[in-house]
Amino acid sequence: MEELWATLIEAQPDPSPWVVLGSALAALAIVSFRTSWHLSRGLITIAHEGGHALAALLTRRKLEGIRLHSDTSGVTLTRGRPNGPGMVLTALAGYVAPSLLGLAAAWLTEQGRITLLIWTVLLFLVCMLLLIRNVYGALILLATGGAVFALSMYAPDDVQQAVALVAVWFLLFGGVRPIIELQRKRRLRQARDSDADQLARLTILPGGFYVLFFLLVACASVVAGGYLMNPLP
């Protein structure tokens, strides 16, 4: 166990500025283009639903399961009081989860803890798999977890570092776009049961306030994560 822990916390050398910049541009391109975003958006949904699930557990709501769908949507099923702080925090956690996870990952990356980051992601995916309640969700988690495991076992350190940086930037940038899409759907009255509208029904504040809150958290995470991974001396 001591050897395993020493391996997990071993720090890798700092990446070159070009690797950091290239990974940021690659992640931004993935998020910006429609086709690549549609193919990768499910990863943001995993983080989104994981945020709901974690908040439900922390507020002692009964977590009944998670479903991930092929249209990149998802739902986290909980049971408990239909209102109150626990329900509010559970609904609040989804849209900010990818950005906050990206910020935490940026901190680990800045510390050089790439191995620890990769195995933390694996642990997160395993916990999600235990809670999944549909076949497609199980398949997408197994595929994602298998890719991460293969990366950790067979890829050289520099490849692991580059992929980890792309993933961190993807979480940071990818945390912003769903919020913009959410507001667009709300403006067209196509998202009456969105997290923001559920929060509006649970509290005295309008749904637009929560969309703005989500966006502020996401943008602040991008700025803070960029500061942590700043490649310049």
Classify residue 8: in a domain, yes or no.
no
pLDDT at 29 exceeding the cut of 70: yes
d(CA 84, CA 95): 19
Tally of structural domains, the chain: 1
51 located within any domain? yes
- Residue 25 domain boundaries: 16-228
Prediction pTM value: 0.93
pLDDT of residue 54: 95
Would residue 6 count as lying in a domain?
no
Q: Is residue 2 part of a domain?
A: no
Q: Where are the alpha helices (H) located in the chain, listed in sequence order? A: 2-9, 17-32, 34-58, 85-110, 114-131, 135-154, 157-174, 177-187, 195-202, 207-228
Asked if 117 and 108 touch (Cβ cutoff 8 Å), the reply is yes
* Residue 9, in any domain of the structure: no
pLDDT at 208: 93
Residue 14 has pLDDT above 90, yes or no: no
Within-domain flag for 206 = yes
Q: Which pLDDT belongs to residue 88?
A: 95
The answer to whether residue 135 is domain-embedded is yes
Instruction: Say if residue 75's pLDDT is above 80.
Output: yes
